Amino acid sequence: MLTFHNNPSIKEKYLARLRAHAAADRIIKGKYWENGKGCAVGCTIEGDDHKRYETELGIPESIAWLEDRIFEGLPNDLAMTFPLRFLEAIPVGADLSDVVPSMMIYVLTDCRIHADRAGQDAIDTVIALYRRRLTGAEPTEEEWAAAAGYAGDAARAAWAAAGNAARAAWAAAAGYAGDAGDDAAWAAARAAWAAGDAAWAAAGDAAYIRYSEELIRLISQ
């Protein structure tokens, strides 16, 4: 998959759309696309289906989810400029297949600091699988699923120990089935991210600013 399907006019179409939404103050947090306003993803595709990044923009769906999560976590002033910075940074005709593994290694290494011993072990398991993906030795679906389950258990235990019953219950119900469709690697990453409890809730503005800059760096190469 090549970004913008190797067509500069596609990139310009979506940049123009984002510029118009930004100028009209239609970029907001908390909603995908409603009444002509929306989040980073919503204002880009004027909808809520992250899969459309692949069909319309030639950008992997998992990168759309990263943009989504980071946008929602950034301070408001930086969040409003992030969608345009994100799209501007992506070259036409680029292969972004290494971006998510590289980004998740970066994020999970950061999240590891916030985890207990069980969480650190779970995060290390997921990081190791992403390192394998970068070498071209793709882990099996079973390995990704096992890592997601391990990290999910660590996250639920950590949240329960902290007395946060609502989040623990949500985690158990969701099962990390995958915000990004059926991608087992992304489910494992989300579970490990939550096990560290850094970017989900606790790390604050500084972490999301670092994540935004790292993602911009990776997609622009």
Give CA–CA dist 32/47, Å, rounded: 7
**Phi, psi of 27, deg, nearest 5:** -90, 120
Per DSSP, helices labelled H in the chain are 8-23, 40-45, 52, 61-73, 76-89, 99-112, 117-135, 141-161, 165-174, 184-196, 205-219
- Average pLDDT estimate for 118-132: 90
Give CA–CA dist 200/205, Å, rounded: 11
Give CA–CA dist 4/57, Å, rounded: 4
Which residue in 204, 169, 212, 176 sits closest to 192, CA to CA?
Answer: 176
Helix (H, G, I), strand (E, B) or coil at 180: coil
DSSP letter (8 states) at residue 138: P
Residue 38: enclosing H or E segment and its boundaries?
A: strand 37-38
Residue 175: pLDDT over 80: no
Arithmetic mean of pLDDT over the chain: 85
Residue 111's pLDDT is what?
Answer: 79
Residue 33: enclosing H or E segment and its boundaries?
A: strand 33-34
Give CA–CA dist 114/40, Å, rounded: 27
- Average pLDDT estimate for 188-199: 69
- Average pLDDT estimate for 203-207: 72
Confidence of residue 85 (pLDDT cuts 50, 70, 90): very high
Residue 205's pLDDT is what?
Answer: 77
Give the range among 17-31, 56-70, 189-203 with minimum mean pLDDT.
189-203
Confidence of residue 129 (pLDDT cuts 50, 70, 90): very high
pLDDT tens-digit readout, 13-46: 999 999 999 999 999 999 999 999 999 999 999 9
The pTM (predicted TM-score) of the whole model is: 0.84
